[in-house]
Amino acid sequence: MRRHRGFDAPGPFLGLVLGTFVLVALAVAGFSTGAAPAGVAFLAGALYTALSAASYGYTMGWGRARVWAELLGPGGGESVLELGRRSLLVRAGSASGAAVGDLRDLPFADGSFEVVISSLALRDLRDAEGRARAVAEAFRVVRPGGRVLLAEVQGSEADEEVLRGLGGADVRRRNLGWRFWYGGPWFATWLVEARKPS
């Protein structure tokens, strides 16, 4: 799906890149003034920050798109709803479109989609009750036998509990791996998936 390619949240990435340059400059200053221990410390910090930037950049540019492609499969005939941060993206076969909607009150009938996905959209819902309502709405609009796939950096344990409480089948939570790291393993993305019983 095209939404998963491109830097839709470039701020943290640019911060890491800028931080790398600042740390390199401080390392050079440390070495040039005879403060070698400080230079080594700043150089190590620059390397760490550069690796975090590379991880973040890869995830935003390619990694997450590849993970979603594997999760969704060819999906030519599937109707998919993506819960976006500011919009709802719908794909039905080869057709797609977008609409604005509240994740806590989706403008679709029960059982409208074969798959509902979210990639870091739920994090914008600050209160636990609102997030639980959004997860419940995602489950509501999935057809019997359909899937809900929620990818989040934080809060996925609560999403898993909500789906279990709604009667979801085959509910599980797993780490999506290095291709979905936002800077390193300390910002790993977790997937919660569930199937609506037929």
Condensed to tens digits (0 to 9), the pLDDT of residues 1-48 reads 344 445 566 888 999 999 999 999 999 999 999 999 999 999 999 999
Do the beta carbons of residue 180 and residue 189 sit within 8 Å? yes
pLDDT at 93: 62
pLDDT at 149: 96
Residue 157 confidence (pLDDT) above 80: yes
Residue 6 has phi, psi (to 5 degrees) of 110, 160
* Mean pLDDT, all residues of the chain: 89
pLDDT at 66: 92
- 97: confidence class by pLDDT, cuts 50, 70, 90: confident
Alpha-carbon dihedral angle through residues 106, 112, 114, 118, given to the nearest 10 degrees: -10
Contacts of 11 (CB under 8 A, 6+ apart): none
Strands 169-175 and 95-99: unpaired
Least confident of 39-48, 52-61, 87-96, 143-152: 87-96
- Top-confidence residue, 24 or 94: 24
- 124: confidence class by pLDDT, cuts 50, 70, 90: confident
Order of strands, edge to edge, in the sheet holding 142-152?
95-99, 88-92, 79-83, 113-119, 142-152, 190-195, 169-175
E-strand ranges in 8-141 read 79-83, 88-92, 95-99, 113-119
- At 76, list the tokens: 């030519």
Least confident of 34-48, 97-111, 153-167: 97-111
pLDDT at 57: 92
pLDDT at 101: 80
